[in-house]
Each structure stands twice: as structure tokens, then as C-alpha cells.
């Protein structure tokens, strides 16, 4: 027999069902990722309208049936409305939702991913933080939470823990000065980028967005993460493609007003 349960979580995605309903995907603290029906969520004036919007964070009272969940009531505490005011911010936000959806599973402990997602969306709303850096922090911490992060603490070949100026994607981490010279496809890793990766992997979610990088170090981190993600993550993300189109053809993206880049 079904019962009502209260879950804390965020809407990752929503798709129309029938004339007035929606099926939403929730990332929850208590049950991991679940799919639930929001009956009448598309009907004007519906109390469940908020539950059908991505980024909505709060509590969701759902009826747990034998094979599905149905949303009964919601109390949304944060809609992240500021993301909708800027296409660049919104694209990064949807990219984060896609990654969370990709990694999260039902009936697993997803509290760390939920916290990361929430704090990362808040970081996107801050003018003082560059979206490019927020993205790389989110990506690496998501990999860390799921146990797929690179080893940036010791050489993958000899185990040395000092002088690690090389990154070798196929080996899954850093190489020391001597071993890096033996790997033709190793890339140079900026010292600040290395330190940033070590900090991201070891720090709590609450402390992640407390640093900045020079443009040189950030570009090096971007190239390193692009290569690592392409090699180890078997998924194409729709929002990421939009970001790439915006980067190369900004004049085609109406309403684009990215954050001012700091020197």
C-alpha cells in the first residue's frame, strides 16, 4: 500500500505528459534520483506549477505507489531565478543539471551531489566568480564524488609525490618531471592548476568556491579537464553544445549578456 513521504531535492528535468501533466526528475537527499508525475502541473494556476521547473529546490511531498511516485505538494525555497536572466548562466546551470542526472542513481546516497549542485548554482549567480572556473570546479568535484577523479597527488608511474608538472590522461593522473618526459602525449600542468585540482578534490563543498585563478592557469585547467572528461565520460551534454555555439557564434544568440571577465 502506498504512502506519502517528504523529500528534499531539486528538479533536474521536466517533460510534458498528456494535456496538463508533467513527469519530473528529482535529485533528492533521501532517495537519490527519482522520477515522479506532477498531475495538473501545466494547468494555469496549479499549485504544482513550480514543481515542474528545472532548478526548483525545496521539499516535495510525494505519494509512493507500487511502481511510481506522484507529487502531492511542494514547498520551493529557491527557484534560482537569476539564472534565467542571463543565457550564459542558464546554459552552465543546465549543464550542471545534466551531469547530476547522468551520475545520480535511485536509492543511493546523493546528498553530496545535491549539495554540490546547489552550491554551484549559487556560485553561477555571483558576479565575482567567473563561470568558466565554476564549471571546472563542478566537473572535478562531481568526478570526485563518483570516484572517477584523476590522481593529482603522486606520479602514476613511479609514485613520486614532488615535482609533478605533467598530466597524462590515459594514465589517469599526473606524472613527475622524469616520467613525463617518457610519455609523448603528456601535457604540461600549470602549478596553480595542479594546486587547484588538489584543493577541489580534498575540500568540502562549502569551501570550493573560495579561490580564483589567473587566466593562464584557468586555460590550462580547462584544457586538462576537457581532455580528461572526453576520455572518461561517455556522454554528450546538450547544454554544453549550446555553450560552444555561443562561444563561437555569439551574434546568433539573442539576449546574450555574459558576465564581465576580470583581468
For 133-161, the pLDDT digits (tens) are 999 999 999 999 999 999 999 999 999 99
Q: Compute the average pLDDT of residues 109-127.
A: 96
Q: Compute the average pLDDT of residues 207-236.
A: 97
pLDDT computed for residue 66 by the predictor: 81
The three cell numbers of residue 88 are 550564459
Between residues 258 and 234, the one the model is more confident about: 234
Of 98, 184, 110, 172, the C-alpha closest to 138 is 98
Q: Compute the average pLDDT of residues 79-94.
A: 93
Most confident of 34-48, 70-84, 194-208: 194-208
From CA 8, how far away is CA 113, in angstroms rounded?
13
Query: 3-78 — its CATH code?
Result: 2.40.50.140
Residue 61 pairs in a beta bridge with: 6, 73
Q: Compute the average pLDDT of residues 198-226.
A: 97
Helices (H) and strands (E) in the chain, counts: 7, 8
Q: Is 106 helix (H, G, I), strand (E, B) or coil?
A: strand
Between residues 4 and 65, the one the model is more confident about: 4
Q: Per-residue confidence at 8, pLDDT binned at 50, 70, 90? A: very high
Asked if pLDDT for residue 257 goes beyond 80, the answer is: no
As annotated, the residues of the chain forming the CATH 2.40.50.140 domain(s) are 3-78
Of 117, 134, 138, 126, the C-alpha closest to 201 is 138
Q: Compute the average pLDDT of residues 34-54.
A: 87
CATH class entry, domain 81-252: mainly alpha
As annotated, the residues of the chain forming the CATH 1.20.1440.120 domain(s) are 81-252
What is the number of other CB atoms lying within 10 angstroms of the CB of residue 62?
27
3-12, 140-149, 249-258: segment of lowest average pLDDT = 249-258
Q: Per-residue confidence at 79, pLDDT binned at 50, 70, 90? A: very high
Instruction: Output the CA torsion sign for 7, 10, 13, 14.
Output: positive
From CA 92, how far away is CA 31, in angstroms rounded?
25
Q: Per-residue confidence at 247, pLDDT binned at 50, 70, 90? A: low
Report the percent of the chain where pLDDT is more than 90: 77
Query: Which one-letter DSSP state was computed for residue 2?
Result: -
Query: 40, 21 in Cβ contact below 8 A?
Result: yes
Q: Compute the average pLDDT of residues 120-127.
A: 96
From CA 235, how far away is CA 237, in angstroms rounded?
6
Asked if pLDDT for residue 73 goes beyond 80, the answer is: yes
Asked if pLDDT for residue 251 goes beyond 80, the answer is: no
Amino acid at each position: 500500500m502506498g504512502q506519502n513521504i517528504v523529500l528534499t531535492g531539486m528538479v533536474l528535468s521536466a517533460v510534458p505528459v498528456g494535456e496538463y501533466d508533467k513527469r519530473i526528475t528529482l535529485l533528492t537527499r533521501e532517495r537519490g534520483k527519482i522520477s515522479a508525475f506532477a498531475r495538473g502541473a501545466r494547468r494555469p494556476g496549479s499549485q504544482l506549477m513550480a514543481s515542474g521547473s528545472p532548478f526548483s529546490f525545496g521539499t516535495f511531498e510525494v505519494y509512493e505507489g507500487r511502481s511510481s511516485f506522484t507529487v502531492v505538494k511542494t514547498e520551493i525555497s529557491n527557484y534560482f531565478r537569476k539564472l534565467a536572466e542571463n543565457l550564459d548562466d542558464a546554459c552552465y546551470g543546465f549543464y550542471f543539471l545534466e551531469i547530476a542526472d547522468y551520475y545520480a542513481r535511485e536509492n543511493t546516497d546523493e546528498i553530496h551531489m545535491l549539495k554540490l549542485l546547489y552550491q554551484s548554482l549559487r556560485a553561477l549567480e555571483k558576479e565575482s566568480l567567473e563561470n568558466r572556473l565554476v564549471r571546472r570546479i563542478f566537473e572535478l568535484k562531481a568526478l570526485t564524488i563518483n570516484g572517477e577523479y584523476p590522481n593529482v597527488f603522486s606520479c602514476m608511474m613511479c609514485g613520486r609525490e614532488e615535482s609533478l608538472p605533467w598530466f597524462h590522461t590515459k594514465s589517469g593522473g599526473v606524472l613527475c618531471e622524469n616520467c613525463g618526459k617518457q610519455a609523448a602525449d603528456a601535457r604540461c600542468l600549470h602549478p596553480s592548476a595542479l594546486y587547484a585540482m588538489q584543493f577541489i578534490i580534498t575540500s568540502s563543498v562549502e569551501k570550493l568556491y573560495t579561490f580564483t585563478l589567473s587566466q593562464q592557469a584557468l586555460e590550462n585547467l580547462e584544457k586538462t579537464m576537457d581532455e580528461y572528461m572526453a576520455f572518461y565520460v561517455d556522454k554528450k551534454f546538450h547544454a554544453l553544445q549550446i555553450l560552444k555555439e555561443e562561444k563561437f557564434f555569439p551574434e546568433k544568440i539573442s539576449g546574450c549578456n555574459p558576465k564581465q571577465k576580470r583581468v
